[in-house]
Amino acid sequence: MADRTNVTVRFLEGLTIVLSILAAFVLDSWWDDHVAARALDEGLIAVVEELDLAERHVAERVEAYSRVEGYLVTILDLFGAEREGSVIEIPDTLMPAILYTPTIDPPTGALDAFFRAGLLASVADPEVRKRLAALPSQYADGEDDERDALEYTLATVRPLLERSLSAQDFTAVMGQTQHYWSLFRASAPWNTPVSNIRLQATSELHNAIASRLQMLRTSQYEVRSLGREIATTAKMLHEASP
Protein backbone atom coordinates (compact mmCIF):
# COMPACT_ATOMS: atom_id res chain seq x y z
CA MET A 1 0.00 0.00 0.00
CA ALA A 2 2.84 2.31 0.89
CA ASP A 3 4.51 1.54 -2.48
CA ARG A 4 1.37 2.51 -4.36
CA THR A 5 1.19 5.74 -2.41
CA ASN A 6 4.82 6.56 -3.22
CA VAL A 7 4.25 5.86 -6.92
CA THR A 8 1.19 8.07 -6.95
CA VAL A 9 3.06 10.87 -5.20
CA ARG A 10 5.99 10.62 -7.60
CA PHE A 11 3.60 10.56 -10.55
CA LEU A 12 1.79 13.65 -9.31
CA GLU A 13 5.08 15.41 -8.64
CA GLY A 14 6.29 14.59 -12.15
CA LEU A 15 2.98 15.66 -13.67
CA THR A 16 3.18 18.92 -11.75
CA ILE A 17 6.67 19.56 -13.08
CA VAL A 18 5.64 18.79 -16.66
CA LEU A 19 2.55 20.99 -16.40
CA SER A 20 4.62 23.78 -14.89
CA ILE A 21 7.09 23.57 -17.78
CA LEU A 22 4.26 23.56 -20.34
CA ALA A 23 2.59 26.49 -18.60
CA ALA A 24 5.88 28.38 -18.67
CA PHE A 25 6.22 27.73 -22.42
CA VAL A 26 2.65 28.87 -23.02
CA LEU A 27 3.15 32.02 -20.96
CA ASP A 28 6.45 32.78 -22.70
CA SER A 29 4.82 32.30 -26.09
CA TRP A 30 1.85 34.46 -25.12
CA TRP A 31 4.16 37.18 -23.82
CA ASP A 32 6.28 37.10 -26.96
CA ASP A 33 3.15 37.38 -29.11
CA HIS A 34 1.89 40.20 -26.89
CA VAL A 35 5.17 42.11 -27.18
CA ALA A 36 5.30 41.57 -30.96
CA ALA A 37 1.67 42.71 -31.40
CA ARG A 38 2.29 45.77 -29.27
CA ALA A 39 5.44 46.65 -31.23
CA LEU A 40 3.50 46.27 -34.49
CA ASP A 41 0.63 48.46 -33.25
CA GLU A 42 2.99 51.16 -31.99
CA GLY A 43 4.99 51.02 -35.21
CA LEU A 44 1.88 51.35 -37.39
CA ILE A 45 0.57 54.24 -35.29
CA ALA A 46 3.88 56.08 -35.77
CA VAL A 47 3.89 55.32 -39.50
CA VAL A 48 0.33 56.52 -40.10
CA GLU A 49 1.02 59.75 -38.19
CA GLU A 50 4.11 60.27 -40.32
CA LEU A 51 2.17 59.55 -43.52
CA ASP A 52 -0.37 62.21 -42.54
CA LEU A 53 2.53 64.68 -42.25
CA ALA A 54 4.01 63.47 -45.55
CA GLU A 55 0.66 63.94 -47.28
CA ARG A 56 0.50 67.57 -46.16
CA HIS A 57 4.15 68.09 -47.10
CA VAL A 58 3.61 66.76 -50.63
CA ALA A 59 0.45 68.86 -51.02
CA GLU A 60 2.51 71.98 -50.21
CA ARG A 61 5.09 70.98 -52.81
CA VAL A 62 2.36 70.47 -55.43
CA GLU A 63 1.10 73.97 -54.66
CA ALA A 64 4.62 75.33 -55.11
CA TYR A 65 4.92 73.50 -58.44
CA SER A 66 1.66 75.08 -59.60
CA ARG A 67 2.87 78.58 -58.75
CA VAL A 68 6.23 78.08 -60.44
CA GLU A 69 4.49 76.65 -63.51
CA GLY A 70 2.25 79.70 -63.73
CA TYR A 71 5.20 82.04 -63.36
CA LEU A 72 7.19 80.26 -66.08
CA VAL A 73 4.24 80.35 -68.48
CA THR A 74 3.92 84.11 -67.88
CA ILE A 75 7.65 84.62 -68.51
CA LEU A 76 7.49 82.68 -71.77
CA ASP A 77 4.47 84.74 -72.83
CA LEU A 78 6.49 87.91 -72.21
CA PHE A 79 9.09 86.64 -74.68
CA GLY A 80 6.24 86.49 -77.19
CA ALA A 81 7.35 87.36 -80.69
CA GLU A 82 10.13 89.64 -79.52
CA ARG A 83 13.05 90.02 -81.89
CA GLU A 84 16.15 87.96 -81.08
CA GLY A 85 18.33 89.86 -78.64
CA SER A 86 15.74 92.51 -77.78
CA VAL A 87 15.33 93.58 -74.17
CA ILE A 88 12.15 92.73 -72.29
CA GLU A 89 11.10 93.70 -68.79
CA ILE A 90 10.00 91.03 -66.35
CA PRO A 91 8.52 91.82 -62.91
CA ASP A 92 10.97 90.78 -60.24
CA THR A 93 8.28 88.65 -58.58
CA LEU A 94 8.48 86.24 -61.53
CA MET A 95 12.26 85.86 -61.53
CA PRO A 96 12.53 83.11 -58.89
CA ALA A 97 10.54 80.79 -61.13
CA ILE A 98 13.46 80.66 -63.56
CA LEU A 99 15.81 79.23 -60.93
CA TYR A 100 13.56 77.87 -58.18
CA THR A 101 12.98 74.10 -58.13
CA PRO A 102 10.52 72.82 -55.52
CA THR A 103 11.81 69.73 -53.73
CA ILE A 104 10.13 67.00 -51.72
CA ASP A 105 11.66 65.87 -48.47
CA PRO A 106 8.90 63.97 -46.68
CA PRO A 107 9.54 62.67 -43.14
CA THR A 108 10.64 59.02 -43.15
CA GLY A 109 11.96 58.37 -39.62
CA ALA A 110 9.01 56.25 -38.45
CA LEU A 111 8.88 54.29 -41.71
CA ASP A 112 12.64 53.63 -41.58
CA ALA A 113 12.37 52.45 -37.96
CA PHE A 114 9.43 50.21 -38.90
CA PHE A 115 11.52 48.49 -41.57
CA ARG A 116 14.62 48.20 -39.36
CA ALA A 117 12.55 46.50 -36.65
CA GLY A 118 11.43 43.86 -39.16
CA LEU A 119 7.76 44.70 -38.61
CA LEU A 120 6.70 44.80 -42.26
CA ALA A 121 6.31 41.02 -42.49
CA SER A 122 3.86 41.12 -39.57
CA VAL A 123 1.39 43.39 -41.38
CA ALA A 124 -1.63 41.19 -42.03
CA ASP A 125 -3.10 43.00 -45.05
CA PRO A 126 -0.99 42.11 -48.13
CA GLU A 127 -2.07 45.28 -49.97
CA VAL A 128 -0.99 47.51 -47.09
CA ARG A 129 2.24 45.56 -46.81
CA LYS A 130 2.88 46.04 -50.53
CA ARG A 131 2.17 49.77 -50.38
CA LEU A 132 4.41 50.34 -47.37
CA ALA A 133 7.24 48.42 -49.01
CA ALA A 134 6.95 50.54 -52.16
CA LEU A 135 7.09 53.95 -50.46
CA PRO A 136 10.90 54.28 -50.13
CA SER A 137 11.46 53.67 -53.85
CA GLN A 138 8.64 56.09 -54.71
CA TYR A 139 10.25 58.76 -52.54
CA ALA A 140 13.58 58.08 -54.26
CA ASP A 141 12.02 58.35 -57.75
CA GLY A 142 10.57 61.76 -56.88
CA GLU A 143 13.93 62.93 -55.57
CA ASP A 144 15.67 61.71 -58.76
CA ASP A 145 13.30 63.71 -60.98
CA GLU A 146 13.85 66.84 -58.92
CA ARG A 147 17.61 66.31 -58.88
CA ASP A 148 17.62 66.13 -62.69
CA ALA A 149 15.61 69.36 -62.88
CA LEU A 150 17.92 71.09 -60.41
CA GLU A 151 21.05 69.98 -62.28
CA TYR A 152 19.59 71.23 -65.56
CA THR A 153 18.73 74.55 -63.96
CA LEU A 154 22.23 75.02 -62.54
CA ALA A 155 24.13 73.75 -65.59
CA THR A 156 22.04 75.30 -68.37
CA VAL A 157 19.44 77.84 -67.28
CA ARG A 158 21.48 79.81 -64.77
CA PRO A 159 24.46 80.50 -67.13
CA LEU A 160 22.06 81.62 -69.87
CA LEU A 161 20.21 83.85 -67.42
CA GLU A 162 23.47 85.38 -66.24
CA ARG A 163 24.46 86.24 -69.81
CA SER A 164 21.01 87.75 -70.45
CA LEU A 165 21.07 90.10 -67.45
CA SER A 166 23.27 92.98 -66.50
CA ALA A 167 25.77 92.13 -63.80
CA GLN A 168 23.84 94.37 -61.40
CA ASP A 169 20.47 92.72 -62.07
CA PHE A 170 21.90 89.20 -61.90
CA THR A 171 23.56 89.96 -58.57
CA ALA A 172 20.29 91.41 -57.28
CA VAL A 173 18.30 88.37 -58.40
CA MET A 174 20.77 85.92 -56.87
CA GLY A 175 20.91 87.95 -53.67
CA GLN A 176 17.14 87.64 -53.29
CA THR A 177 16.95 83.91 -54.10
CA GLN A 178 16.67 82.68 -50.51
CA HIS A 179 14.06 85.34 -49.79
CA TYR A 180 12.08 84.30 -52.85
CA TRP A 181 12.22 80.66 -51.79
CA SER A 182 11.00 81.49 -48.30
CA LEU A 183 8.01 83.24 -49.85
CA PHE A 184 7.18 80.13 -51.84
CA ARG A 185 7.46 77.94 -48.77
CA ALA A 186 5.30 80.35 -46.77
CA SER A 187 2.71 80.29 -49.57
CA ALA A 188 2.82 84.08 -49.74
CA PRO A 189 3.99 85.26 -53.20
CA TRP A 190 3.96 88.99 -53.76
CA ASN A 191 0.96 90.49 -55.48
CA THR A 192 2.69 93.67 -56.62
CA PRO A 193 6.12 93.72 -58.30
CA VAL A 194 8.76 95.88 -56.69
CA SER A 195 10.61 96.52 -59.92
CA ASN A 196 11.16 95.17 -63.41
CA ILE A 197 14.23 93.21 -64.43
CA ARG A 198 15.57 93.99 -67.92
CA LEU A 199 16.25 90.70 -69.66
CA GLN A 200 17.79 90.07 -73.06
CA ALA A 201 15.39 87.80 -74.94
CA THR A 202 17.23 85.08 -76.82
CA SER A 203 15.82 81.93 -78.39
CA GLU A 204 18.39 79.92 -76.44
CA LEU A 205 17.13 81.23 -73.10
CA HIS A 206 13.52 80.87 -74.19
CA ASN A 207 14.07 77.23 -75.16
CA ALA A 208 15.92 76.52 -71.90
CA ILE A 209 13.05 77.96 -69.86
CA ALA A 210 10.56 75.98 -71.96
CA SER A 211 12.53 72.78 -71.32
CA ARG A 212 12.62 73.58 -67.63
CA LEU A 213 8.84 74.07 -67.70
CA GLN A 214 8.37 70.66 -69.28
CA MET A 215 10.64 69.02 -66.70
CA LEU A 216 8.74 70.77 -63.93
CA ARG A 217 5.42 69.49 -65.28
CA THR A 218 6.80 65.95 -65.38
CA SER A 219 8.01 66.26 -61.78
CA GLN A 220 4.68 67.76 -60.76
CA TYR A 221 2.83 64.77 -62.23
CA GLU A 222 5.11 62.37 -60.35
CA VAL A 223 4.69 64.25 -57.08
CA ARG A 224 0.90 64.31 -57.47
CA SER A 225 0.97 60.54 -58.02
CA LEU A 226 3.12 60.13 -54.92
CA GLY A 227 0.67 62.22 -52.93
CA ARG A 228 -2.20 59.96 -54.00
CA GLU A 229 -0.22 56.84 -53.00
CA ILE A 230 0.56 58.30 -49.57
CA ALA A 231 -3.05 59.36 -49.04
CA THR A 232 -4.41 55.94 -50.03
CA THR A 233 -1.93 54.09 -47.81
CA ALA A 234 -2.67 56.37 -44.85
CA LYS A 235 -6.41 55.91 -45.34
CA MET A 236 -6.05 52.11 -45.37
CA LEU A 237 -4.02 52.23 -42.16
CA HIS A 238 -6.58 54.52 -40.51
CA GLU A 239 -9.39 52.14 -41.47
CA ALA A 240 -7.46 49.15 -40.11
CA SER A 241 -6.80 50.85 -36.78
CA PRO A 242 -8.84 49.51 -33.85
DSSP symbol at 194 = S
Per residue in 176-192, pLDDT tens? 666 555 545 554 444 45
Per residue in 59-104, pLDDT tens? 888 888 888 888 889 888 888 766 777 888 887 777 777 887 777 7
199 forms beta bridges with 88
Model pLDDT, residue 190? 46
Could you tell me the residue ranges of all domains in the chain?
A: 2-240
- Contact assessment for residue 53 and residue 107, using Cβ atoms and an 8 Å cutoff: yes
178 vs 174, more confident: 174
Q: For the chain, how far is it from start to end, CA to CA, in angstroms?
A: 61
% of residues, the chain, pLDDT over 90: 19
Q: Cα(227)–Cα(104) distance, rounded to whole angstroms?
A: 11
Model pLDDT, residue 29? 57
Q: What is the pTM of this model?
A: 0.74
Q: Cα(90)–Cα(99) distance, rounded to whole angstroms?
A: 14
Per residue in 32-53, pLDDT tens? 455 566 878 888 889 999 999 9
| H or E element that contains 198 | strand 196-200
CA nearest to 142, candidates 206, 61, 84? 61
